[in-house]
Structures are given as structure tokens and as C-alpha cells.
Amino acid sequence: MKARLLFAVLAVALALSLSACGSKEQAEEKPAAPAVASAPVDPATAGTITGTVKLDGPAPKAQRIRMDAEPTCAKTHTTPVMTEDYVVGDKGGLGNVVVYVKDGLGNRTFDTPKEPVVLDQNGCIYVPHVIAVQVNQPVEIINSDPTTHNVHPVPTNNKEWNKSQPPKAENIVESFAREEIAIPVKCNVHPWMKSYIAVLKHPYFKVTGKDGAFEIKNLPPGDYTLVAWHGVLGTSAEQKVTIGPKESKAIEFTFKP
Amino acid sequence: MPEIQNDDPIVAKSYSGPLLIASLLLVLSLFWALWQEFVGLRPWRGYQREFASVYSKFLGKELTKQKAAADAIMSSAEYQKLAKAAKDAADAAAPQVKKIDEETAYVNRRIAALSPTFITARGEVTALIYQVEIAGSESSKKSRQADVDKAKKGPFNVELPTAEGKTEKKSFNYDELIAEFDSLKNHKAELTLKRADVRKAADEAAKAQAAYIQEKLDGLSVEQVQSLQTAVRQMSVALRQINVDKAGLVDRCQSCHVGMDPKLVPPTLQLTKASLGLEKSKDAPFTSHPQPELLKLHDPEKFGCSPCHGGNGRATNSVVKGHGRHEFWLWPLYYKENTEAGCQTCHAADMFTYHAPVLNKGRELFRQKGCIGCHRYEGFDNEGEQLLSARQKVRQLEQQKKDAELEIPRLNKAGDQAPDNKAAQDYYAKADNLRVETSVMDAQIEQLMVRARSLLREEKKVGPSLKETRMKLRKEWIYYWLENTHTFRPDTKMPQFRFKPREPRAISAFIWQMAVPGPALPKQAPGNSAKGKELFESRGCLACHSIGEGNKKMGGTFAANLSRVGEKVNYDYLVRWIMNPRQRTRPYDPIARKDLGPEDYKQYGKDFVFDLDHSRSPDGKHELQVQQQTVMPNLRLTIAEARDIASYLAAQKHADAVYQPAEFMDDPKLVEQGRALVKNYGCAGCHEIATLEEEGRIGTELTTEGSKPIERLDFSLLTEHAKRGVLPDGKPNVRDGEKNAEWYDHKGFFERKLTNTAIFDQGRVVTQLKMPQPNVTPEDVTALTTFLLGSVDPQVPKDYLYKPADQRRDIQEGWWLVTKYNCMGCHQIAVGQPSDLQGLPIYQGENKFKLPPPLLSEGARVDPNWLARFLENPAMSKTDVNRNGVRNYLAVRMPTFSFSDGEIRKIVKFFQAIASQAQPYLPPRLEPLTPQERTMARDLFTHPAAPCLKCHATGQPAHDANASAPNFLLAPERLQPAWTARWLTDPSRISPGTAMPSGLFKQEGGRWVFSGPLPPSLQGYSKDHADLLVRYMFQITPEEQRMLLGRTPAGGKSGAK
């Protein structure tokens, strides 16, 4: 009996994962798996939220990072290395912001993506500065530097860990079990290194680029609350959006520096 | 007249006769019963009456004596002077006192006159105020207040006496009345203070007068004796008892032993049979306790009598019953020679009990004679049992750690799946805490492993290792020794076994063939025997070993007598042994249970090197026993010195000694038979023997042997002898002057058995006792018997047992080690305990300065961290080792004991504890020297009247040839400043007979001042001179010392200044 239930759950999970990462056509060909926790997203009715995040005003000047303590890293940079707290585009778009659905998905559960999100340590800088993953989604951490780093996430709600990663060492693959926006990541050897990992229970999030643009796709029709989070400026005001079937809506977040 | 019938029983037979007899009997038995009731069953009544009479007589004599003594003192000129001074002072103060007294009387009269009115008025007003307080409405409050005001107005009319003796009439209102009363009271208080002030000189003089008598009068004062006389007169004849409820103790001993009552006989008064005039009486239990200091430590109101002395404290109807000396009382009164057995009841965990020399000797013998080799005794196998328990604890902790490591991922997973963040944080925190706990466990495990390693080093055997036999001994000698143990060496600690014929052949063959075969010893060149003798006598060998036979014997008793060692020993081995007695031929692997040879090391590509720094097995997995399990230390001799001593010892032999060849010792057929015999006789209890390293003890455990039921002590065919008080040889047993005293008790059993261990086999066809005959004197038997009698299952409450957790425990643990390594062979450690070396002829007279230092105040003298380093390496150098680190000028050598860390800690704590030092030691901050002070200190240091550097070593060979005290450069890290100051000012108080002179400083105005002529720079210096020198010494440097040496006349150079 138990085994059969387990099998059913596995089957659903497999189906969901295929639908989430597969193309529309593929998903359409597959018959809907029986609902267990909640109904899967019907791609036929799913909508999209797009928009941009803007910085209202001039960004504080970036600080120069001095890497004198680690000449091997300093050598890899030809231009001065600046802090990445404010990445602002031409039209005032703000990068490194996590835009995500805060509310509106109810009890719906989602598959955990198997493919890892990569966090590289390159020239003693975390690349990218901000990443977002789903709960339990693997984060693959690479050391591209000829020096030893330690990777030290400092979470509030997750389990803390701190691992050393010598040059050419195997990639560290870890995951986070609980939603947390966002976990700061430090390298204690190189105190200037800093990065954030946002962990979410669902796939409806986006980290903005320099243009501040985002697109959140495949949302089932419903009422949603969205927020944006920035490493220095914190969490924005909430925005309520109602999505009808196949609807696409645009919103805008504005941060004041 | 009616006819009288002939057969009328009333007429025919008169019963008056029998009736008379019966009634007489009845009356008699009534008297007997009454007599028994009041006299026979209450022998203590007689004792108490007798005591009252003899003690009264004693006190009468005492009174006369003390009166005479007091009179003599009072007639002395000094007393008269004091008396006159007291009288003069009193007279001088008298007029003023009289005036004050008169005024006080006047004030008192006025107070008395005022008091009734004052008290009435105060009562009235207070009552009215209370009415105001409880009044309900504002208006009634007001009206009541008016009453109060009215009452306060008064007027109060008083007639007061005046100073002239008349009276005056005065009228007060309430407030004035109070003020007047208070002012009178204050005035009276002032007068009282003034009177004390005026009388001060007179009172002090009177006190001095009384104190003079008290100081000079030896014993009780006349008044005290008189009050004792009153107490004895009023003493009622009654049962006297000590009742301690929680201990279930009722001791009525004082009912007869009346002299024990401190209210009747104060501790300052010693009652002996002689002082009571009862020398000849055998029945006079009136003496006071011979060791009153013991009663101070053990309040009889808490401890009673019987827990220490034995006996039946409740029984009062006869002496025998009270003393519990019959078959049915398990705890008979200890005989005088065994009294200290009582100490052991509570002090069983002690290694050394103050005030109990016989018991201490018993314990000591139990260890030294190797009794523990066969008989377990709780607490006497510290190392072995601790090793087992350490290993067990490691296993427990490893299991706990394993459990925790399984639990951590479970908690983390629970955190991942927790319904909310708070719960998740809690789970993660728990997992983290558990992880931290595992790290704490790691620390514990690591410490236990270190401890286990230490213990492997601490475990010693009473006898030498028999694995070395082939390397060390002359073959034929072994066989001879087994049968003639006490003939060959009359004072050896090895007992004489009672072998059956041919058993020694098999045993010696087994031992010979099991011994390690090599690697062969290096050949040693012969040494200079004459030099060897000198070294043997001066390096300190005699602290443990003795040499010479009969009355030529000298030296310590801790280790073997070496008089005939030349007959048995191989010279090359002896050289190695003297160089380093801990050196083994092969290390023992306790896991593989074998002695490893070069071939085992070769397997792992390693050289055959093993010592304390290379103690891992060749596979690196575990610790080996790399040392011989002997307590003999390394004296850090040079190879030449070792050869000299070995040559001297090798010559110690009887010229006519002949040993029969013993080819049978190579007979392989005897090995198995020998092994069985060696196991049977328990040889491995004292010796390390190949294949029998892990053998257990073969004898009875003796921890509570003293309270074993008597039926379980096998008197065998001698039971009747014992009960009749006849000794095995038919002579009467005498105890405490009593002939044919029964010895069917523990004391009898232990004494007989120790005197002759085969005794209870006497008369038996099949003999079965295999306990060998220990080499003990009658005094030793008494000491061991005392120890065993006291080894009981204690009947007192648990908190009576002496198991201190404070520094007193450090002292006990320290004694274990101090006796284990025979520190007292060289050092004086306890006040009043001489070292063995002290008694040797070579250290008499002025040669006593060549003795090792007494350690009476070592804990206060040295910095404990320094002491720990010193104990580890007494040479205080890694390279320059053939010398003493501190007292290089002494020929006698502080050896290297290769103590384990644990032992060093315990010894250091022991010295700190006996000197009452706080732990851990924090060096005090010393005030830095000002430049002027530095100059002064230098001047003082090199002053001709304080030739410090004449005796103290400096490190310059020419100078140190005559040195007799340590180098000052050691002081900063070695010494404690407070002790140094005490030492400078009065060294002989710390160490009587020291070469350091006393009187270098004198007390002047509460500080120490140099007593010689002051160097000019010190004139006018107002601080403590000794303190100045201490501060200087604690910052002295080699350069500074060299500079001083240039200045001092003792420096060997001409004065630079």
C-alpha cells in the first residue's frame, strides 16, 4: 500500500518536472498527471508578469575593492574592481534584484529542479553577485581562482555550513532546505567577497540584470503579491497583480537609494 | 476429745523445715537480685565512686601544688613590680574615679526621681496619639488632637534632688520633660565612657598582673582546680553515655572511664595511673585520653568511642562484655598495640594518616612487601585499575560520540522539514550543540588516552622483571635463590616459598627459558672499583639500597641489600642497569602480548629503537611498555661512573660462594610444568614474566578482611588451641599480661598466619596453604595486623568516612607517590620525619650540608610551574644532563624518575597542598625597582656583611667549586617572592640547620632592616630592606650577576669598584 502511494508520488513528481522544464509542446502532449498536493499548472491558461526594477535617483558610488592581500587575484583584474551593490542600467534599471511572488500560490507545490545554479569564484569575486534557487535545488560552487576560498553561507533559517575550497578542488554542490531571502555568502579568507543566495519554494522569481527587467512566466491565473529584494536596500513595497487566463501584465518596482 | 488421725498430713508431717528453707532461699535470691541490680550488673557504680575518691585526692594534691606555685610567682620581684604598678595606677585614677562615681550617683538619683512622671506622661500622650490615629472623621481627629495638645501642656511637676542634697521643685511641659530625661541619660553615658577612660591605665596594669600569673603558672589556676573539686563533689553516680542518633551510636564507655569526661578532667590535665597513685592496679580505667589532640579532631560527642576503639558501647554489665571480647561480638576492643586499626575504619582511603605511625607502617609494608601482588586491596592498585577504567571510559565515550553523530543528521533533517522557521532554528541549534558536544567528547577521549599512556608508565612491579633473567643473572644462582631466599639475602622483601621437592627445578627452568634472548648487551670495559664505592656512597644510592651484612649494614630499606649482588649479576647488564634502570631489552606489546624484537621492527622498515619518545608499536597503532616496571630512577651518571659503580658492586660477594651447575634449566620438558607452578604460586603478581603478563591475582581480597565472620577464617586444626589460649607450640598465649588468652579472633588469626604462613596446615595430611613466608619482624606483624584489623566494612554513616575533596585529597594522592618513589629516602617531607640519608655516617656533623634539601615548605617556596618542569627534567637541561639542575654543588643526585604527566601534577599539587597554597598559582606583581633602589640593592648584595655570592653558585666553575647554595639566576622563575622574604629574614625557622645564616635582618619599626653596617646609599631608606633584596633578586640577569661578581670580594677578581 505504502509502496504504491510512493510510486504514485514519484510519478507525479516526474511528470511535473518534465512539464516545468520541458517545452510547451512537450507538456501539451503529456496527459495531466493525477493531482496530489495541488493541480499542476495548465500551460494553456498560464499567464506572465513582466516589468522592470528601477532606482529612483543616483546610485551611491561603487567602492574600489583592494585585493592587495591576495596578489594572485589582483593580477586577474586589469581594471579596478568595484563593489557590485548597485548595478544600474542606462535607463535607471536596477540589477541584482530578486523579484518574486510572495503570495498567491496557496498550497501548490513544485518540483525541485535538478540542474544546479552555478556560483563561481573568479578573481576573488562571486559571479554572479546574486543568485536565486528553489528549495533543495543544487547550488554548484566553483573555484576558478588559484587560491583557496572558503564558502560560508550565513543563513537565518537554514543550516549553516562553511567549507574550504582549494584551487582545482572539486565543485561544492549544496542545497538549502528552507525558503530564505536571501542568505549572505562570505569568504572569510577574502573579506571583500560577498554574494547572496535567495531560496524560494516555487519557481516564480527572477534576478534582474543591469536593465532591471524581469519576466515571470507560466503563472496559473490568480491574485498575486509580488515583491522585489535588493541586497542593500532590502525589500520593496508589495504589488498586487491579478492574472487572468493567458494574460500578461507589466508592473514596476522602484527603489530609493 | 476428737481422736487425732495418724495419717493426717498436717499433723503427721511438718513442712515448716522446707518452707523455712524455701523462704530463706526466696529472701536470699531477693537480696541477690537486688545486689545484682545495684552492684553486680552495674560495675560502673563502683568505678565512679572509686574515681571520685582518687580524683579528689589528686585534685587536693594539685591544689596544694598550684597554690604553692602561684604563691612563688606572686612573691617574685617581677610580679611585685607589676602588682605595684597596678596599685599605683589604680591609686592615681582613684580621685577622678571617685568624682565620676559621685556624679553618676547624682544623675541616677535625678533619673529615678524623674522616671515615674516621665513614664506616666509618655504613656498618656502615646495613648491619646493612638486615639487620633484611629479617629474616623476629620472633626473627631481634630478634637482628639486638641486632647493631645492639652495633655502635652502638662504641667508636670517634679521634685528633683539637687547636687547639694536638697530637693527642687520643677515644672515641665511634655517636650521639656522628654528633653530633660534624654539629657540625663546622655550625661550618664558620657560619665561611663569617661570612667573607662580614666581607669584605662589601671585596668591594663591589672590585666598584665593577671596575665603574668597565667603565663608563668604551668597547668591549672587555683580557681580552676577548686571548681573541678566542686564538680567532683557534685558528681552523681549515674550512667554516662554518648548518644549519636544518626550514627545509631550509644557509647556508655565513660560510665567506667570517667576520666575521659572533659568537664571533669580538662585536656590540660593528664591523668595517668601514676598520677592517680594506681600504678599497681589492673583495674583502674580512670586515665584521661593519652592523645587529647585526637579528641580535638574527633569530637567524642560526634564520634563516640567504639567506632575508633571497637567494643560494645551499650554493654555496661561487665568489662568483658563492654569490651566486646567474646566470640559473639564482631567488633572487639582493639588491643593497645593495634589501637590504630580503628583509624582505618574511616581513613581507609588514606595513604598516610597523621597520628597513626603503626597503621602507616602496616599500609607501607602491605605495598612494599608485595602483599598487593597476590591480594587485592581497594585503592592499592591505583594504576592498574585506573588504566582499566580509563580504557573503559574511552569505549563509552566513543559509543556516545557515535550515537551523537547518528543523531545530528536526523536533527538537521527534522530542521529542513520543520513546519516553521522557529522550529527549524531550534532543530539546527540542537544539531549544532550536539556537534559541539562531540568535540568536547573528543577532548575527553584525548585526555583519557594521555592518561592511559601515563598509567602504562606508572604501573610498577614490586619485583624485578624476569624477562631480563638471561641478560642479567648467573644461571645457577636462580635455582639457589628460590630455595634459599632469606638465607642469601636476610632482609629481602621477596617471601620464602614452601616448594615441594623438584618444584624449584621446573620453575627455574621455565623462567630461564622464557626470558628474552637478546639482542646481546654491549661489552663494558671494567671500571674503577674504589671510585665506584665513593660514588655509590655519595650519589644517593644508599637512600634506597643498603650494603654490608650484619651490623656493618648501612643504607635504606626501600630497595635490595646489595651485599652479595656480585654473586648473581652479569657485569655488562649491571652497567646498563645503573645507567638507566628503566631500559628494557625488548619492549612489550600489550595488544600482541609479546616482547618485540628487531625482527618486528624490521617488518615495518624501522630501526629497533624504543624509549619514552618512541613508545608506539612499529605499526604505529598503540602504545608499548617501553620501560622496565621498576621504580628505580635514572641517576644521570656518565658511562664511566656507571662502570665504576658496577665494578664496585660486582665485587660484592662471598669469596667462598659455590653454585651447583643447573643444566636442567635448559630442559625444554620442564617448561610447561614450570609455567603451571609459576601460575599456581602467583609469581606474576610481583614479577613481569613472559606469557603471564596479564595474569590476575591469586590471593583473597583483603579490603574488608577485618570484618569477615570469624567462622570464615580457617583456623583448621588449631581452632581448639585458639579457643583455649594455647599457642601452636603448646605455650600459653599472652595478651595484655593475661596468660592463656583466647586467640580465636581476627587478631590471633592474622598474627599467627603472618608469623608462620604454614601454621594452619599444622597437623593436616593434605596441606593446601601456598602463601609464602613474608620476611617480617614481630613489629612488622603488629603493623600488618593493625592494618588488616582496621580493614572493615565500616559500620559508621557514610559521611564519617574520610574522603576529602579539597586539598587534603591532593595530600593523600601525593603521599601515594611520595612513598611509591621513596622521596623520603633523600628528603625530609613531613615535619619530624627524617630522611634515610640523614642517618648515614657520611652525612654527620658538618657533612650534613651535603644532604639533599628538606622539602618542608617546598609548595610555598617554588613556583609550581617551575616545579613541574624540574620534576620532569631535574638536570634542567637537555644536553648537560650529568648534574643537578639546581644544586649542582651536591654530590648526591636528584634522579630522573620519568614521571608521567599525571604523577607530576599530583606531586606538585601535593607540595602546594601541604603548604596550603592556593591553586592555580598566580605570581604576585612586584613593585619595580627605582634606579636608586637598584643601586642600594647592589650595594647591599655585595656588602662585606652580606656575602651572598660567597655561597650561592654563579655558574663560574672557579667560583662554584666552593658554592653551597643555588644560583640567584634561578630565583625569578623558581621561587615565590613571599617565601623568599621569609627565608631571607629567618631561614632557620623554615629549615633548621640550614647553611643560610639567620639574623641578616632585624625588625625595626615594623620593617626588616639590614643588621650589618648600612652602605651609604641605604642610609635614610625608609622601606623594607628584605623586600628590596627580594625585588632585586626577582629581576636579576646574567649580566647583572657578572657585574656583581666583579664587585664582590668573593668574586675571585679584584673589586672593580
Which residues of chain A have a CB within 8 Å of the CB of B416? 159, 177-178
* pLDDT higher at A33 or B70: B70
Minimal Cα distance from B419: which residue of A? A178
Which candidate in A154, A159, A160, A162 is best for mutational testing of the B interface (most B CBs within 10 A)?
A159
Q: What's the ipTM?
A: 0.77
Minimal Cα distance from B417: which residue of A? A177
Minimal Cα distance from B431: which residue of A? A159
Instruction: Give how far A107 is from chain B: nearest CA, Å.
Output: 13
In terms of residues, how long is chain A? Answer: 257
Task: Report the C-alpha gap between B464 and B462 in whole angstroms.
Answer: 7
Touching check for A177 and chain B: CB below 8 Å? yes
Question: Between chains, do A160 and B416 touch, taking CB under 8 Å as contact?
Answer: no
- Tens-digit pLDDT profile for residues B621-632: 888 899 999 999
Tell me the average pLDDT across B889-906: 91
Closest by CA position to B470, among listed B609, B654, B671, B665: B665
- Tens-digit pLDDT profile for residues B386-397: 888 888 999 999
- Tens-digit pLDDT profile for residues B1014-1036: 888 888 888 888 899 899 999 88
Return the residue matching grid coordinates 492639652: B150
Q: For chain A, how many helices (H) and strands (E)?
A: 3, 17
Minimal Cα distance from B427: which residue of A? A159
Model pLDDT, residue A24: 42
- Tens-digit pLDDT profile for residues B94-104: 888 889 998 89
**Which three cell numbers mark B182?**
534624654
Question: Between chains, do A156 and B431 touch, taking CB under 8 Å as contact?
Answer: no
Task: Report the C-alpha gap between B333 and B346 in whole angstroms.
Answer: 16
Tell me the average pLDDT across B415-423: 90
**To which CATH superfamily is domain B807-914 assigned?**
Cytochrome c-like domain (1.10.760.10)
> Do the two domains B807-914 and B931-1051 of this chain adopt the same fold?
yes
Touching check for B279 and chain A: CB below 8 Å? no
Model pLDDT, residue A97: 93
Burial classification of residue B227, based on how many CB atoms lie within 10 Å of its CB (0-12 exposed, 13-18 middle, 19 or more buried): exposed
Task: State the pLDDT confidence band at A21, using cuts at 50, 70 and 90.
Answer: very low
Model pLDDT, residue B327: 75
DSSP conformational letter for B147: H
Instruction: Give how far A134 is from chain B: nearest CA, Å.
Output: 14
Domains within chain A, CATH numbers bracketed: 1-40 (no CATH), 42-255 (2.60.40.420)
Which of 1.10.150.20, 3.40.50.300, 1.10.760.10, 3.30.1510.10 would CATH assign to domain B931-1051?
1.10.760.10
Residue of B412, B417, B424 with shortest CB distance to A157? B424
Which residues of chain A have a CB within 8 Å of the CB of B417? 177
Q: Phi-psi bin for B737: left (phi > 0), alpha (psi -120 to 50), beta? A: left
Residue of A156, A160, A178 with shortest CB distance to B416? A178
Model pLDDT, residue B11: 62
Task: Report the C-alpha gap between B297 and B295 in whole angstroms.
Answer: 5
Instruction: Give how far B438 is from chain A: nearest CA, Å.
Output: 17
How far is the CA of A214 from the CAs of A43, A100, A204, B348, B927, in angstroms? 20, 10, 11, 84, 73
Task: Report the C-alpha gap between B385 and B372 in whole angstroms.
Answer: 13
In B76-173, alpha helices (H) = 77-134, 138-153
Which candidate in A160, A161, A162, A178 is best for mutational testing of the B interface (most B CBs within 10 A)?
A178
Asked if pLDDT for residue A20 goes beyond 70, the answer is: no
Minimal Cα distance from B428: which residue of A? A159
Tell me the average pLDDT across B680-705: 89
Q: What is the mean pLDDT of chain B?
A: 88
- Tens-digit pLDDT profile for residues B793-812: 888 888 888 988 888 889 98
Model pLDDT, residue B5: 60
Task: State the pLDDT confidence band at A38, using cuts at 50, 70 and 90.
Answer: low
Touching check for B428 and chain A: CB below 8 Å? yes
- Domain parsing of chain B, residue ranges: 9-36, 77-225, 334-369+752-800, 382-458, 466-581+641-675, 807-914, 931-1051
Q: What is the mean pLDDT of chain A?
A: 83
Question: Cα torsion at B382, B387, B388, B391 (round to 10°)?
Answer: 150
Model pLDDT, residue A33: 43
Burial classification of residue B15, based on how many CB atoms lie within 10 Å of its CB (0-12 exposed, 13-18 middle, 19 or more buried): exposed
Model pLDDT, residue A18: 45
- Tens-digit pLDDT profile for residues B238-284: 888 899 888 888 999 999 998 888 888 888 888 888 888 888 887 88
Question: Between chains, do B421 and A177 touch, taking CB under 8 Å as contact?
Answer: no
Closest by CA position to B382, among listed B813, B896, B890, B767: B813
Which residues of chain B have a CB within 8 Å of the CB of A177? 415-417
Instruction: Give how far A186 is from chain B: nearest CA, Å.
Output: 20
Asked if pLDDT for residue A19 goes beyond 60, the answer is: no
Which candidate in A109, A157, A160 is best for mutational testing of the B interface (most B CBs within 10 A)?
A157
Touching check for A162 and chain B: CB below 8 Å? no
Task: Report the C-alpha gap between B321 and B44 in whole angstroms.
Answer: 13
**Which three cell numbers mark B868?**
613541574
Touching check for A56 and chain B: CB below 8 Å? no
A15-29, B585-599, B915-929, range with the lowest pLDDT: A15-29
Model pLDDT, residue B1048: 57
Which residues of chain B have a CB within 8 Å of the CB of A156? 421, 425
Touching check for B392 and chain A: CB below 8 Å? no
Share of chain B above pLDDT 90, in %: 32
Which residues of chain A have a CB within 8 Å of the CB of B418? 178
Instruction: Give how far A219 is from chain B: nearest CA, Å.
Output: 25
Asked if pLDDT for residue B171 goes beyond 80, the answer is: yes
Tell me the average pLDDT across B886-903: 90
Task: Report the C-alpha gap between B54 and B592 in whole angstroms.
Answer: 76
Task: Report the C-alpha gap between B1022 and A2 in whole angstroms.
Answer: 96
Touching check for B424 and chain A: CB below 8 Å? yes
Q: Are residues B204 and B88 in contact, defined by beta-carbon separation less than 8 angstroms?
A: no
DSSP conformational letter for A169: P
Model pLDDT, residue B633: 94
Which residues of chain A have a CB within 8 Å of the CB of B415? 159, 177-178
Tell me the average pLDDT across B971-980: 91
Model pLDDT, residue A25: 42
CA B615 to chain centre: 36
Tell me the average pLDDT across B853-860: 89
CATH number of B466-581+641-675: 1.10.760
Question: Cα torsion at B186, B189, B195, B198 (round to 10°)?
Answer: -70
How do beta strands B1001-1004 and B594-595 pair? unpaired
Tell me the average pLDDT across B690-709: 88
Model pLDDT, residue A4: 56
* pLDDT higher at A10 or B357: B357
- Tens-digit pLDDT profile for residues B430-451: 999 999 999 999 999 999 988 8
Touching check for B431 and chain A: CB below 8 Å? yes
Model pLDDT, residue B571: 94
Question: Between chains, do A159 and B428 touch, taking CB under 8 Å as contact?
Answer: yes
Model pLDDT, residue B845: 79
Model pLDDT, residue A226: 93
Asked if pLDDT for residue B894 goes beyond 90, the answer is: yes
Model pLDDT, residue B10: 61
